[in-house]
Structure 1
Amino acid sequence: MEEFDYVIVGAGAAGCVLANRLTEDPGTRVLLLEAGGWDRSPYVRVPKAFSRLMDDERTAWHYPAGTGPGREEIWQRGRMIGGSTSVNGMIWSRGAARDWDALDPLGWGWSAMRQVFTRLEDHPLGPAPHRGVGGPVRLSIATATDPLAEEMVATGAELGWRRADDLDADDDERIGYPTATIHDGRRVSAADAFLHPVRRRPNLTVEVGAVVLRVLVEGGRAVGVRMARDGREVERRAAAEVILAAGALATPHLLQVSGIGPADTLRAAGVPVLLDRPRVGAGLREHRSMVLQYRLAEPGGHNMTIGSPFGQARAALRWLLTRGGPLALPVLDVAAHVKSRPDLDRPDAHLLMAPFSAAPPRPGKALELEREPGLMCLGTVTRPDSEGSLAITDADPRTPPAIVANYLTTEHDRRVAADLFRRMREFFGTGPIAKRIKAETVPGPAVRTDAEIVEAAVARGYCGYHAIGTCAMGDGDDHVVDPRLRVRGVDGLRVVDASVLPVMVAGWTSAPVSALAWRAADVITGRDAN
């Protein structure tokens, strides 16, 4: 049996970065395992085709998640090389420096992470103290994408929000066009940026269709994994470390089926307890995006261009010929960071807006557009403190875990959500964008009280796809991983993905996870001694 130095589980944002960085040393043998297939679907390249990828169970995992009594939704995650960066909305956001500084006592503060981002990025706005050029992640900013989008940016300026070219440059109220992992009209996934350029390295092996069943632990040390591939079970051994990079849902799931997790949960599922670690699967935080939609008074926006099969065909032809048009854009056109109340010292919420409106959701469908012209705004509590959980219910690792979302259950989250929603309505009642609007369609003008707003957010909102915290790092022995991301109680086992983040770093997670993995590679190899 061939043995590797490092076995990495998961080829998403973190796994692709780790595979790239750890194989820089030609003497280091790395195996990268991915349960899905290669990222060969043509829809991966087309930015606005993300919904097709997320809807298809061949390219996305569909996790059932409970959102309340009798309520369930589907949380999609990428199921191919590139992981969720191959199916996501492509917004690249470093996170706020102040949020990173909350991790400074653990060695992951902004002073360290800023340097990582400048090495990662090839940013269209050029170099700056917080911004990089020449890096592997090629970025773009699509401005003036539609007259309606430009009017939304102008409306924000009328409310006193700063119009920003780089939305990550400061932490005031600001609005603009988001930086996206799109280059020349094509998606730039973690696979494009980090894995495909090094695929020919002789010390890198990639196996797809490799469903890891459990981590193998012998004498208190992780020595490899057992996995199912091509209809049979096989083992892969690691001389140095097993690194779990499967994400905030799959990583705690794998730890639990391997016997590392809350003892009562493991016993109930029929899994022998190797280590009683109550926090594995606990502390889950996820964004809930509240929906506000309007019907336009006159024709306009993307519903008319990509909301029908004919319109989609025309847009696809334009993209094929020019790499332009609405299919070359990120998931939503305009972003803003805002305060839910004017007395706050910095934004505590963020918005995404687009010149289109979503049709009523259908189970298993990520996003479908209305035929009539409309606008959409998604409002999100940036730093929620509501905590959900993830727990296995069966010893079979192929059985989905029980996920409890617990959206907006704390007083803080409910208050911020209600205040933010009223600011969203204020926005669309202001300036140039107000002249475009005929009526509010979702959730509707009858929704007025705090309780009604929160109920509408939970019942009709969207998952943010930004889960963190299920294997959170910390100084205490009760934390799942230590500040060097090593799993406590098992030698040779490390976690490098969003599950280790104990705090939300303002906004969207693919950039922070990429930076986390880049620096983790230095920690693993001893190039970073902190």
Structure 2
Amino acid sequence: MRVDVVIVGAGSAGCVLANRLSADPDLSVLLLEAGPRDRHPLLRVPKGFGKLIADPRFAWHFPTEPVGSARRAEKWVRGRVLGGSSAINGLVYNRGHREDYDELVRLGNPGWGWEEMLPVFRAIEDHALGGSASRGAGGPQPVDVPAAEDPLCEDMIASGAQLGLDAVEDVNDSDAERIGLSPMTARGGRRVSAAHAFLHPVRRRPNLRVRTGVTVDSVVFEGDRAVGVRGRARGRPVEIRCAREVVLCAGSIGSPKLLQLSGIGPGEALRPLGITARVESPQVGARMREHRAVPLQFRLNDDLGYNRHLSSPGAQARSALRYLATSGGPLAAASFDVLGFLKTDPDLPRPDAQVLLAPFSLRPHDAGGEAELEREPGVQAIGYALRPTSEGRLAVTSADPDADLAIDPGFLTTAHDRRTTAGTLRRMRELFAQEPLAHHLVEETLPGTDVVDEDEIADAALNRGHCGYHAMGTCAMGPADADVLDPRMRVRGVSGLRVVDSSSLPAMVSGNLNAPVMATAWRAAEFVLDQSS
């Protein structure tokens, strides 16, 4: 098979690109994925993510440097299966705010504003609420807003309304302070990953080939032009050539790693590792931003919520049987059933915090580990600063592609992030103090009522919270020579190479990243198809 374009990574971006590019019958496309095919039945069960994220068969686990005074090292999880992280994530479909995309333009990236991106989202979506000026219908990606599975969810929304948030049917239809049921990438109680939405329906195209079990270790160059990739397939070395472009869709961790291993990055760090510096690009792996979630949990005075359905083997078996029979019950719900956006200061022009609420409570666990519910009834929320200003970075530590990366999350190092995180927890507490939710509560169990001032709340977020799994910016696009990518996502200093995933975003989108990454790839396909771009 003649190959024009090689796409590395079959996650949200890679699946969208494979779909869009292979629609041109004159363009041959090869999509490479390190993980297996997405055949395991748990991959279609929404609540299955709680077990999947801990399973190395389907997830990469990237250890970070320790954070907080407790010096907790986390494992950042990314999908390692067809569909990538969209196959193991919490399913929340959140597009971000209009201003996020207009900010990309203000940063020097024309063509990425809301006027250009809203039509992209509408083209992608098949929304259960139907099409509108702000929603799509008939697109490849189903978006469901299922009815509340537990009455506590309705009480959460009603309490948010008492706090002054707009109770809305579609949380993506407004940028105001609002609360509503979580839209999710599902249909009829079954997860619809990017692979199921974009890849599987077009797998029979003669110009599209998909290979799983191929781990890409570096980009192959002839002079300054990318002409393919080098890696391993089932333990044997492979080299794959292409005639037109290599597109890295390996995510905010995998793409900068591949660039650095290929000699594109900070030369002073690469040369001591025995990596020849092909392009001096110090920002590769830098400018990383990630959400840091602060948790809030309460004990309930009634046996409500999901704990009774999912906290023991017997209860899990009964819930599984119900799901198999009806595609319903708690296993059909997203990671968090209710989604809210609020201001930590009433004078702000738009919400600066996101809260996610669910009718369950968790036992202590580390990021990257299996999530287990408490036996006693409880309720949980997490919240974070939507647009953090703290920056982390990552770097390869060896020329060996299997060596661990050095990942410094850089959490809560700015006054803005600490202040906003503290304000987020305070607003969450205010929400839970409203009726009708308040009369269900016995006591706050996490982080505890003694955690009050800004420093204490920041410490609770670092020591007892977790990452949002939303890292971005590590190969950011922009107009300056120092930016890793140009506004058409081409890697500076070489030709025939692009990066299309969350690493390319120079500004944090207000919320979860799956929907923005799919839209980014849909938009980027236009640049790849236009050979002048």
**Separation (CA, whole Å) in 2 of partners of 1:487 and 1:306:** 47
CA deviation profile, 1:107-148 (whole Å, cap 9, x unmatched): 200000001011100011111112100000011102222111
1:442-500 Cα deviation digits (max 9, x unpaired): 11111111101000001111210111000000000100000000000010000000000
- Shift of residue 369, structure 1, vs aligned partner: 0.6
Task: Point out the more displaced range, 238-247 or 67-76.
Answer: 67-76
How far residue 3 of structure 1 moved from its aligned partner, in angstroms, is 4.2
Letter in 2 for 1:170: S
String of CA shifts for 1:257-302, please: whole Å, max 9, x gaps.
1111111221232211111110000001111111000001121110
Where do residues 7-406 of structure 1 align in structure 2 (5 Å cutoff)? Answer: 7-68=6-67, 70-104=71-105, 105-106=108-109, 107-362=111-366, 364-406=368-410
Partner AA of 1:148 in structure 2: L
Partners of 2:297 and 2:274 in 1: how far apart? 46
Distance 1:281 1:98, change over 3 A: same
Question: Are 2:407 and 1:408 aligned?
Answer: no
Q: Report the aligned-residue RMSD.
A: 1.2
Give, in whole Å, the separation in 2 of the partners of 1:230 and 1:300.
48
1:41: Cα distance to partner? 1.1
Check whether the contact 2:74–2:366 (CA below 8 A) recurs between aligned residues. Answer: no
Asked whether the 8 Å contact 1:3–1:236 carries over to 2, the reply is: no
CA contact (8 A) 1:3 1:237 kept: no
CA distance in 2, matches of 1:334, 1:523: 36
The DSSP-based 3-state class of the residue aligned with 1:242 is strand
* 8 Å contact from structure 1 (residues 63, 75) kept in 2: yes
Q: TM-score, normalised by structure 1?
A: 0.98
Q: Distance in 1 between matches of 2:368 and 2:391?
A: 24
AA aligned opposite 2:81: M
Q: Is the Cα contact below 8 Å between 2:366 and 2:466 reproduced in 1?
A: no
- The SS at the match of 1:304 is helix
CA contact (8 A) 1:155 1:432 kept: yes
For residue 128 of structure 2, what is the amino acid of its counterpart? P
Output the amino acid matched with 1:149.
C
CA distance in 2, matches of 1:226, 1:171: 44
Conserved? CA contact 2:367–2:467, under 8 Å: no
| Alpha-carbon distance in 1 for matches of 2:397, 2:16 | 32
SS at match of 2:410: coil
**Percent of aligned positions with the same letter in both sequences?**
53
Q: What is the CA-CA distance between 1:363 and the residue it aligns to?
A: 7.0
Structure 1 stretches of 4+ moved >4 Å: none
1:67, 1:407 within 8 Å by CA — same for their partners in 2? no
Is the contact between residue 126 and residue 140 of structure 2 (CA under 8 Å) also seen in structure 1?
Answer: yes
Post-superposition offset of 1:345: 1.6
Counterpart contact for 1:10–1:246, Cα < 8 Å:
yes
Query: Are positions 1:496 and 2:497 aligned together?
Result: no
> SS of 2:217's equivalent?
strand
Q: Distance in 2 between matches of 1:377 and 1:68?
A: 21
Shift of residue 29 of structure 1? Answer: 0.8
Q: Any conservation in 2 of the 1:67–1:406 contact (CA below 8 Å)?
A: no
Count of residue pairs brought into register by the alignment: 528
Q: Distance in 2 between matches of 1:68 and 1:146?
A: 35
Distance, in Å, in 1 between the alignment partners of 2:56 and 2:396 is 21
Q: Distance in 2 between matches of 1:468 and 1:427?
A: 30
Distance 2:140 2:211 in 1: 23
Q: 1:362 to 1:503 in 2, by over 3 A?
A: closer
Distance 1:389 1:254 in 2: 15
SS, match of residue 150 in structure 1: helix
- 2: CA distance, partners of 1:224 / 1:497: 19
Matched position secondary structure for 1:141:
coil
Query: 1:423 is paired with a residue of what secondary structure?
Result: helix
Say if 2:479 is the partner of 1:475. yes
Query: 2:247 is paired with a residue of what secondary structure?
Result: strand
Give the C-alpha shift of residue 28 in structure 1: 0.9
Q: 1:447 to 1:280 in 2, by over 3 A?
A: same
Q: How far did residue 342 of structure 1 move? A: 1.5
Partner Cα distance (2:274, 2:305) in 1: 53
Q: Distance in 2 between matches of 1:466 and 1:362?
A: 16
Cα distance change, pair 298–94 in 1 and its aligned pair in 2 (3 A): same
Return the alpha-carbon distance in structure 1 between the equivalents of residues 340 and 497 of structure 2.
Answer: 39
Instruction: Give 1:76's aligned amino acid.
Output: V
CA distance in 2, matches of 1:353, 1:90: 14
Output the CA distance in 2 between the equivalents of 1:139 and 1:358. Answer: 27
Partner of 1:380, secondary structure, is strand
Contact 1:67 1:458 in 2 (8 A): no
- Deviation readout 1:403-447 (Å, 9 max, x if unpaired): 111111101000111111111111111211111100110111111
Whole-angstrom CA distance in 1 between matches of 2:526 and 2:337: 35
Shift of 1:362: 4.8
Say which SS state the counterpart of residue 73 (structure 2) adopts: strand
